[in-house]
Amino acid sequence: DQQVKQNSPSLSVQEGRISILNCDYTNSMFDYFLWYKKYPAEGPTFLISISSIKDKNEDGRFTVFLNKSAKHLSLHIVPSQPGDSAVYFCAASAHTGANNLFFGTGTRLTVIP
């Protein structure tokens, strides 16, 4: 049973516009969330993270928002660039529990020049 869900398998956005990728989770014990980015033929690479004590974390063009009551997080990319075209994985973990990250199925973002 998927504890981390990314319900949109793909997303297309025009260059310069905002990209919003969504992620939902079911396990209330999760308290740390990460986004990974994956290019074809490469492994996922860490992008940005957020602890459950925060509701927002920003790093340059990337911002992650966390809504604990809704068990929902989102990744905003603004402005979107063609180089952002990749698969984005949402991941979650529980510091007090599991020793691993639970990943979603990924969202393929295509930024159209």
106 touches other proteins (CB under 8 A) = yes
Q: Per-residue x/- mask for other proteins, residues 6 to 45, rule CB under 8 A?
A: x------------------------xx-x-x----xxxxx
Report the SS3 class of residue 55. Answer: coil
Which CB, 78 or 101, lies closer to other proteins? 101
Strand-strand pairing, 10-14 and 4-5: unpaired
57 touches other proteins (CB under 8 A) = no
Cα 23 to Cα 25: distance, rounded to the nearest angstrom: 7
**Nearest residue to 107 (alpha-carbon basis) of 12, 31, 2:** 12
User: Which one of the spans 11-19, 64-72, 77-85, 102-110 is the region binding other proteins (CB under 8 A)?
Assistant: 102-110
Which CB, 2 or 14, lies closer to other proteins? 2
Cα 6 to Cα 66: distance, rounded to the nearest angstrom: 14
Q: Is the dihedral of CA 92, 51, 38, 98 positive or negative?
A: negative
Positions that interact with other proteins (CB under 8 A): 2, 4, 6, 31-32, 34, 36, 41-46, 49, 89, 91, 93-95, 97-106
